[in-house]
Amino acid sequence: MTIKDKVVVITGASSGIGKATAEVLAKAGAHVVIGARRTDRLAEIANEFDDDQVSYQATDVTNRADVKALVDLAVSKFGKVDVLYNNAGLMPVSPLADLKVDEWEQMIDVNIKGVLYGIAAVLPVMIKQKHGHIITTDSVAGHVVHPGTAVYAGTKYAIQAIMDGLRQEQVDNHIRTTMISPGAVTTELYRTISDDTTREQIKKREETTGLAAEDVAHAVAYAIDQPEKVAINEILLRPVSQQT
């Protein structure tokens, strides 16, 4: 497998898709450097593996210096970064008329600016290497808008533009890009929804019919585990029962 011995940096790695991906890739032989705000959760993941297999550092993706420090940790420890996985995200969905402006700003800070901070941190490293792979968690919401999801979907549509622009700009540097766009997944993402009724509805849907975080992790591994000349630019995956 081409995953073995690759150096992979993952944000939003303390739970859900990020945690599952870190474990899948580490078991496949990658050196994984994980970041999130909850370092106790990161330590639990790292303790499952040898010291050189999983490293971690406190990382708030809304803080550009934190994201750069996470990438710097990978470079200082392993001398390179093969893959950056921008996975951190929030989903406090609500109707626009509710005017939850603070939540809109949080989504923009994490879902868009957090991704841009990741790109800014790793792109100079990958350009110097003349290779690399930048992956970002997008969403089915980056393709379809429903009532109550306008701002969240807007952040995910933005990822489509950012990642495709990055792909086109970095062809000559052999930097691959991938968007992972899952539908309903059983994770803790529903906890970021402030409306009690909406939160419970989404929680029930995800727990009943959602994909497992490991399903998405295997999609990430598939994208990484391709020959260098092959770029899987997007993977869109839903539970079979999800219509839209």
| pLDDT tens by residue, 71-106 | 999 999 999 999 999 999 999 999 999 999 999 999
Give the catalytic positions in this structure: 152
Q: What is the Cα–Cα distance from 58 to 144, expressed in whole angstroms? A: 33
Tokens of 54: 């999983």
Biggest alpha carbon–alpha carbon distance for the chain: 50
pLDDT of residue 161: 98
Instruction: Give domain 7-237's CATH number out of 3.40.50.720, 3.40.120.10, 3.20.20.70, 3.40.50.300.
Output: 3.40.50.720
Beta strands 54-58; 185-186: pairing state = unpaired
- Residues 6 or more apart in contact with residue 84 via CB below 8 angstroms: 8, 9, 71, 118, 119, 121, 122, 132, 133, 134, 135
pLDDT band at residue 201, thresholds of 50, 70 and 90?
confident
Task: Kindly report the pTM of this predicted structure.
Answer: 0.95
Domain boundaries, the chain: 7-237
Residue 185 and residue 17 in contact, taking contact as beta carbons nearer than 8 Å: yes
Q: What is the Cα–Cα distance from 197 to 173, expressed in whole angstroms? A: 48
